[in-house]
Structure 1
Amino acid sequence: MAPTLNIIGAGHVGRVLGRLFAASGEFDIGGVLTRSAGSAADAVAFIGAGQALESVAQLARADTWMLAVPDDQIAAVCEQLAATVALDGALVFHCSGAKSSVELDSAARAGALTASVHPIRSFADPQAVAGSFGGTWCGVEGAPGAIAMLEPALLAIGGRVAHIDAAAKTLYHAAAVFASNYLVTVVDTALRAYQAAGIPAAAARELARPLATETLANVFRLGPETALSGPVARGDMATVARQQAAVSAWDPEAGKLYEALAAATVQLAARRT
């Protein structure tokens, strides 16, 4: 018999993991509790298993609990769970990239093994993610016993496991923000600057596309030090100064971004020697 898994919070991440765990046979899905009965029923339909519930009081005891709720609700939901259901000997984990397993301290005090599992990818399209999860890295941290139970389950659904220092969980999540969110911001600034120079928006995207994609490919193929090119890499700080002035005159906030990035790039260039 597969261990039972109750799910609290079945948005994009919760329902994808629920479907994959159920399909793999790693867990037998029990109760599914979300913000409303309707959304719980939708989640159960997507997962293909489980029972839609309306309150914590309806949750039966389970071997494993997945809390896929918003970050700021993890601790409160866990406290409510620990006060309502026996958790001794159970595994309780959440799916936040920003919060560590410390958020589940109330479950740990109730005798549960606790951990966090953060699949490192966008879940904007749950159907697509569920069909292409293989190879997805999952950042994990928590009690050794919890990790020992979770790691085989993640491997069974095609995940790859990266062990995180719980004390550095916020820094870990910031790394993902740099690699994804802030990358979008930098490219957006480039597109706006092209347009300010007279290039239509559609053409600006086509100009930026090969620069951005080839640069990223070089970073992951050669490493950032070797991939770096441009005026800072050449030591042409006079050009950097002229660009700084031009960008600041066009958009003061973009000028601040350019200045911060130039300083960081100087440090990166120094690692090349």
Structure 2
Amino acid sequence: MDSFTRDGLRFDVIEWGDDGGGGDGVPVLLLHGFPQTAASWEPVARRLAAAGHRVLAPDQRGYSPGARPEGRRAYRVEELVDDVVALADAAGAQTVHVVGHDWGAVVAWALAALHPERVRTLTAVSVPHPAAFVKAIATSRQFALSWYMYFFQLPGLPERVIGRPGGLADAARRAGQSPERARRDEAALTARGGLRPALTGAINWYRAMPFWEHRGLQLTVATPTMLVWSDGDVAISRVSVDATPRWVTGPYRLEVLHGVSHWIPDETPDRLADLVLEHLGTGAA
């Protein structure tokens, strides 16, 4: 499987494995964050596939050149969730395990909240439940840590600032990403139809936040859930992490990685893969 379509949009997909070994027959969907692509999951995906799982990682809306609709509203979280449902349908999967990092975690939380019947397990990497995050913005230093979200609301300016050669890589390095991986991610987006168009699609995820139908995603999650957070994260405060259990009614587990940056799948892929493989077992039918 290398692509799927929804409403005339074409999404690129990378697939690893075929569930021919120790998997449970339920695909594992890996959802990337900003400003990365499906390729950023490769070290984790190969570990999951080696354990026998079928692993699918899409370049999501705005990142796939064939899936860049016009306008902010087209990037609402509900649309992003329906894209993932379409991927599951295309894969022939009634249920999936979902793992999301950064913005991919937001989509994973929303998928589990809006379509609990489709999600066997949820692993959120770096980002806590959106409702806990929104509350933390209003009550803690999370407001200051999220300054870039307000900057991204400006029309055109973010693309001019970080869309210059090396600009996106510089921004990622300031957020804790290694120089080599930051350049890798900028090159990956540039190869997908040019950096500026890819950036507009990616930044529209932020610009669409005021248009969410489920404002702040004030919905609980009953799916077996694991949150993996790192105390070296410069974007996500512990306050929002600690508030997350309020929004999870099912089995919940928090794993804190010490001395690790926001870029957990890049920085500690083997540790993350170990945690995910362990968590997948909690969703056995």
Ranked by relative contact order (alpha carbons within 8 Å, sequence separation 6 or more), the top structure is 2
TM-score w.r.t. structure 2 length? 0.28
Q: Which has the larger radius of gyration?
A: 1
